[in-house]
């Protein structure tokens, strides 16, 4: 699956996704830093990429309705430190076929994974 990683996440996630057979690019690598949420959403959608972010604005299904995109993963943790985020994503990739998240909003928290399909 193709993945776009928001600028608020570590670039090392690119290699983590690659370990699991996914093609990932960061917003920074593509020189999209500073773009508005709606613009990033449209770019990720046009590239058929799942979008992963710490930005809770992307969890608003009124603005980013499920099944209108290739998937959004929002990380919600008490600690958004680099190591915590990497650990959470590694755990997700080990437990879940992220292809199954296509079109859905997925919220990853410290102790839970919620998938919003509608």
Length of the chain counted residue by residue:
118
Q: What is the pTM of this model?
A: 0.94
Tokens 């699956």 belong to residue: 1
CB 42, CB 88: distance < 8 Å: no
pLDDT digits (tens, 9 = 90+) for 56-99: 999 999 999 999 999 999 999 888 789 999 999 999 999 999 99
Which residues, listed in sequence order, are joined to residue 112 by a DSSP beta bridge?
A: 109
pLDDT reported for residue 79: 84
Closest CA to 74 of 95, 50, 47: 50
pLDDT reported for residue 40: 93
Q: Domain of 19?
A: 2-116
pLDDT reported for residue 109: 93
Number of domains in the chain: 1
pLDDT reported for residue 55: 94
pLDDT reported for residue 6: 95
pLDDT reported for residue 115: 94
Could you tell me the end-to-end alpha-carbon distance of the chain, in angstroms, rounded to an integer? 21
What are the residues whose beta carbons fall under 8 Å from the beta carbon of 6, sequence distance 6 or more?
Answer: 26, 27, 40, 51, 52, 53, 54, 55
pLDDT digits (tens, 9 = 90+) for 34-54: 999 889 999 999 999 999 999
CB 98, CB 115: distance < 8 Å: no
């Amino acid at each position: 699956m193709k993945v776009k990683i928001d600028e608020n996440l570590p670039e090392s996630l690119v290699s983590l996704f690659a370990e699991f057979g996914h093609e990932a690019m960061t917003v920074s690598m593509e020189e999209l830093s500073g773009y508005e949420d709606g613009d990033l959403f449209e770019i990720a959608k046009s590239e058929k990429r799942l979008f992963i972010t710490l930005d809770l604005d992307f969890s608003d299904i009124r603005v980013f309705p499920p099944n209108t995109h290739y998937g959004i993963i929002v990380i919600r943790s008490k600690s958004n430190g680099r190591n915590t985020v990497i650990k959470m994503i590694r755990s997700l990739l080990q437990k879940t076929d992220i292809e199954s998240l296509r079109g859905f909003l997925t919220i990853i928290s410290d102790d839970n994974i919620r998938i919003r399909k509608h």
